[in-house]
């Protein structure tokens, strides 16, 4: 008994010492493994980000192609309904901030009285198109910009407002809210335009 009691505290000290050594060595052993783990995680993150970027750029290109196809039958004969190539490039290049940056630049141009009417009208038109074609589309904002374009710049972009099957198909595709028809949209737009012109 005395002998066991004598070795008991030593045995406990031995276990504690062993635990201390394991406790000190384990983090070092894990740290030795960490660089590879971190590199793998970073590498995987870079690959995923690249995949997202390429998918996003592909989606932007697809949206541009769809816009071009939609406007192939446009009544605008001078190409005034084209979207700015520079805006598309910025949106394509900067996945997270490109759209916001382009819209802010266009808004600045639109609000600058030093710019000509044609430049300001083009900024408004491009904002309307970008909002209507964004994913998801902001139809309310697009409608507002198209109305402003119609009211504020009566000598510009009249080709897109002329009555035609093309115009009605674009309204149906890009601007209608749930439950609306092309006719109800046009009636509402007409009332809103008359109200604004009277102010």
What is the rounded CA–CA span in Å between residue 25 and residue 31? 10
pLDDT in tens, 154-187: 999 999 999 999 999 999 988 988 999 999 988 8
Structure confidence at residue 138 (pLDDT): 93
Q: What is the pLDDT of residues 40-50, one digit of tens each?
A: 655 566 666 67
Q: Give the mean model confidence (pLDDT) for residues 24-37.
A: 51
pLDDT digits over 97-115, tens only? 788 888 999 999 999 999 9
Q: What is the DSSP letter of 73?
A: G
Q: CA Rg, the chain, in Å? A: 32
Nearest to 157 by CA among 53, 54, 83: 83
Q: Peptide bond preceding 136: is omega within 30 degrees of 0, i.e. cis?
A: yes
pLDDT at 147 over 80: yes
């Amino acid at each position: 008994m005395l002998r066991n009691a004598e070795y008991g505290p030593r045995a406990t000290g031995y276990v504690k010492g062993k635990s201390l050594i394991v406790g000190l060595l384990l983090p070092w052993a894990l740290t030795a493994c960490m660089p590879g783990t971190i590199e793998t995680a970073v590498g995987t993150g870079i690959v995923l980000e690249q995949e997202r970027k390429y998918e996003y750029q592909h989606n932007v290109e697809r949206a541009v192609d769809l816009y071009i196809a939609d406007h192939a039958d446009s009544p605008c004969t001078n190409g005034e309904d084209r979207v700015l190539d520079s805006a598309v490039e910025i949106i394509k290049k900067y996945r997270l901030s490109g759209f916001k940056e382009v819209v802010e630049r266009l808004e600045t141009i639109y609000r600058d009285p030093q710019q000509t009417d044609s430049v300001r009208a083009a900024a408004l038109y491009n904002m309307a198109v970008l909002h209507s074609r964004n994913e998801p589309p902001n139809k309310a904002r697009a409608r507002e910009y198209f109305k402003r374009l119609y009211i504020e710049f009566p000598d510009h972009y009249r080709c897109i407002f002329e009555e035609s099957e093309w115009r009605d198909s674009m309204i149906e595709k890009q601007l209608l809210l749930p439950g609306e028809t092309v006719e109800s949209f046009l009636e509402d737009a007409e009332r809103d335009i008359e109200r604004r012109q009277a102010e």
